[in-house]
Amino acid sequence: MKPLVLSPNSLSYLTCPRKFMNYRILGRRLAGARAGADAGNILHSAWAAWNRGDTTLRRTIGRVHVGSIGTTEQICDAIIEAERASLPLERADDHRTAAYLKDAFAALRAELEPRRGTWRVLEVERRLTRRIGEVKAEVYDGTTITHMVHGNWLQRLEAKAGDCDMDGVAIVPIHLELVRDLVIEIIATGERWVVDLKTSAWDDEAKPRAWAVGDQGKCYTWAWNDEFANKPVAGAQFIRLVMRKPVQKPTAKTKPTFEPQVLPPFRYTPAILEEWRKSVLTRAADILRRDPENPDDWPMQACDSNCIQFNKPCDYLGACEMDPDQRAYFLAQDFFEPSGAGKEPLTVEEAV
């Protein structure tokens, strides 16, 4: 039986199943308007190079082959310039230029540089899959259970002869697919931690608490500890880089444009991680239960926190305001694009 492959992001489908359907089943997202996410991805690329200590760059970015030799800081700047040049500006006046992003990364480096001597790097930007368990699922037509989530996209999950019992129930392996930013070991204590970089335009106090109980930190921690039980990590530490829009006439009350924050680490006990593992299997069984061709199985969860995100309307709010029979036509218009536009398929290690 092929596995159901889940990413940490796909586990949040219950926040709004209809949004999940539009993005991951119908495969549509609002065209453009991704400057914030693109900026975060660019800085993650530079951060990985910095953590590895890269002094050479040989990469095809967009359609351009980029080659460079220099200090690690110069390589990071070259990555930022090349990746930013491969993306269009969201608007003509967008402030997240290459120069802005290089300044943001310089601020991050200045905050972290004094700490680098206190840890040793164990892993940088590793992509992998890991088996987390198995669930029972009903076979609908004798050959197909439902669709599987592979990273961000839905693919058909086939049931072969011998996969099911007499009642038409199959045992489906559940795998996690993830990209882990960084794992370090504190030299003084020997403790190991997963480290994850977050970029944001806000510095609210609530979001780090949500990260602590969310899927990402637990996923990265569980996957490491499952593979390296003899040298487990204690939990996750998040580093937030706040990047504000530059103010033309700053005052004494104006906050800095760039504000790196090393947040307190979150410890995950074995009991917390086991509770989370079971919750993943519960959600996996629920996804397998739903029919990807039936919108009623993916209902809207309309509320302020879902329909308004980052002080902007949800990308799909316009579709949700329409009659049901008009939504597919609306999502097919040019102001939407394929959800996978500009994304490279993930090549991951074999799950075990």
Q: What are phi and psi of 314, to 5 degrees?
A: -55, 145
Q: Which domain holds residue 180?
A: 4-338
Tokens of 264: 């307190």
Q: Which residues of the chain have pLDDT under 70?
A: 32-33, 59-66, 88-93, 140-157, 159, 161, 166, 310, 340-352
263-272: pLDDT as tens digits? 999 999 999 9
Say how far apart CA 195 and CA 192 lie, in whole Å.
10
- Position 346 scores a pLDDT of 41
- Position 348 scores a pLDDT of 39
Domain membership flag for residue 25:
yes
Helix (H) or strand (E) holding 48: helix 35-52
- Position 274 scores a pLDDT of 97
Domain membership flag for residue 192:
yes
Domain membership flag for residue 343:
no
Nearest one of 189, 137, 146 to 168, comparing CA atoms: 137
- Position 304 scores a pLDDT of 82
- Position 347 scores a pLDDT of 40
Domain membership flag for residue 124:
yes
Question: Helix 98-116 crosses helix 35-52 at what angle (to 10 degrees)?
Answer: 40
Q: What are phi and psi of 4, to 5 degrees?
A: -85, 120
Domain membership flag for residue 265:
yes
Say how far apart CA 262 and CA 334 lie, in whole Å.
41
- Position 13 scores a pLDDT of 79
Domain membership flag for residue 347:
no
Q: Is the dihedral of CA 293, 294, 295, 299 positive or negative?
A: negative
- Position 90 scores a pLDDT of 56
Domain membership flag for residue 344:
no
- Position 10 scores a pLDDT of 79
Domain membership flag for residue 112:
yes
Q: How many domains does the chain have?
A: 1
